[in-house]
Copies of this chain bind each other. A is one copy, B any other.
Amino acid sequence: MTETAPRPTLEAVAARAGVSRATVSRVVNGADGVREPLVERVRQAVEELGYVPNQAARSLVTKRHDAVAVVIAEPETRVFSDPFFAQQLRGISKELTAHDNQLVLLLTEGRDDHARVGRYLAGGHVDGALVFSLHLDDPLPELIHRAGVPTVFGGRPGWSDGLLPHGCGPGRAGATPTPVYVDSDNRGGAREAVRHLAGLGRTRIAHITGALDQTSAADRLDGYRDVMVDADPRLVAEGDFTPGGGERAMRELLDRCPDLDAVFAANDLMAAGALRVLRQHGRRVPDDVAVVGFDDMLPVAEQTDPPLTTVRQDIETMGRLMARLLLRGLDRHATQEEGVGGTPSSVVLPTTLVRRATA
């Protein structure tokens, strides 16, 4: 299994190079003010001994970890099957590695996991956290808040309209924090989708919602209602952002309102499920029923039959932005220039309609 020979320490390098620990530290950390020949000697000693700094020791004094946790409140099965997360993580990962930060992925399914994640964050393994796919009444924000870890949320948290859900923990933190988040203009995007369908002359426009305990789903529903002011409530069916959920919802809708002529699904995965059901029921798309999705997840939207018209949000950019916001906040923190660049605040990104063949 590989043996664990004791790793060389700063001390060892210093001895070998014939200098003090302080000098080695300076060289290793790229501080200037060390004369060239010494630098060379130290470099060589480091090389020869295969020295790598012990991060625990370093963190103990610097209180930095150069690591950021990404917390996703979904079961593995979803995280690893919904391309949404892949894209978001890709964006985050790029930004973090560009700034030499490690990404630590934490998935939380159940209650036990929450406790574990809380301990991990509070244990000071990471400098900050990126949290997404929050659900209503999720204990996570409270936990994170108590852990005192700087955080940026992906998607507007459900409790942003006031206080944290369960009151503040002992000792930690002062005022109720204003959450910093990155989100798409879900409501606006939904409006655009539904208006597009209406512009096509459709009047019986149905909506398949996402999991309504997430703000993204609720916001898209609101957008739908903005346009369909007095819509038949039976035209709305609740989904859960999964293909299976989309199928179920579509069947339900077809059952309740056989005369529907359009469907706006809250994401592409559900739209794909809906398309399958429509085909099974002999409805032609877009002739009989027009369909619009949300996300523009390329591997999904381009592969459906026919290719999916959808609302595009730049997910990778959202990820990048989350990471950037967090790192900037950490920086600001470190350099004490509170308020110079201004406290980072939330960002809402615009969406665009991508026309393909389903509407």
Q: Is there contact, CB below 8 Å, between A171 and B8?
A: yes
A198 within 8 A of B: no
Q: Bound complex: CA of A284 vs CA of B52, how far in Å?
A: 60
Nearest to A8 among chain B residues (CB) is B171
Given A86-B77, A90-B76, A104-B104, residue A50 in contact with residue B4 (CB < 8 A): no
A177 within 8 A of B: yes
A32 within 8 A of B: no
How many copies of this chain does one complex carry? 2
Q: Bound complex: CA of A67 vs CA of B65, how far in Å?
A: 15
User: Across the interface, which residues of B come within 8 angstroms of A8, CB to CB?
Assistant: 171
Nearest to A128 among chain B residues (CB) is B1
A221 within 8 A of B: no
Q: Is there contact, CB below 8 Å, between B2 and A48?
A: no
Given A1-B343, A177-B2, residue A170 in contact with residue B60 (CB < 8 A): no
Q: Spell out A's residues near B (CB within 8 Å).
A: 1-5, 7-8, 47-50, 52-57, 59-60, 65, 67, 76-77, 79-81, 83, 85-86, 89-90, 93, 97, 100, 102-107, 112-113, 116, 119-120, 122-125, 128, 144-152, 169-174, 177, 180, 299, 326, 329, 333, 343-344
Given A89-B76, A120-B102, residue A55 in contact with residue B125 (CB < 8 A): yes
Sort A-B residue pairs by CB-CB distance and give the 6 closest, nearest first. Answer: A80-B86, A52-B122, A50-B171, A56-B59, A55-B123, A105-B105
User: Across the interface, which residues of B come within 8 angstroms of A145, CB to CB?
Assistant: 2
A146 to chain B, nearest CB (A): 7
Q: Is there contact, CB below 8 Å, between A1 and B344?
A: yes
**Contact for A148 among B3, B86, B326, CB less than 8 A:** B3
Nearest to A299 among chain B residues (CB) is B81
User: Across the interface, which residues of B come within 8 angstroms of A5, CB to CB?
Assistant: 148, 171-174
A83 to chain B, nearest CB (A): 6
Q: Is there contact, CB below 8 Å, between B56 and A76?
A: no
**In this complex, which of A76, A144, A180 has the most chain B Cβ atoms within 10 angstroms of its Cβ?**
A76
Given A55-B123, A56-B56, A125-B55, residue A3 in contact with residue B173 (CB < 8 A): yes
Q: Is there contact, CB below 8 Å, between A49 and B170?
A: yes
Given A53-B123, A123-B55, residue A86 in contact with residue B81 (CB < 8 A): yes
User: Across the interface, which residues of B come within 8 angstroms of A7, CB to CB?
Assistant: 122, 124, 148
**In this complex, which of A119, A125, A177, A299 has the most chain B Cβ atoms within 10 angstroms of its Cβ?**
A125
User: Across the interface, which residues of B come within 8 angstroms of A49, CB to CB?
Assistant: 170-171
- Enumerate 13 A-B pairs (CB-CB under 8 Å) in ascending A order: A1-B177, A1-B326, A2-B173, A2-B177, A4-B148, A8-B171, A54-B60, A76-B86, A79-B80, A80-B85, A81-B81, A81-B83, A97-B112
Q: Bound complex: CA of A18 vs CA of B172, how far in Å?
A: 22
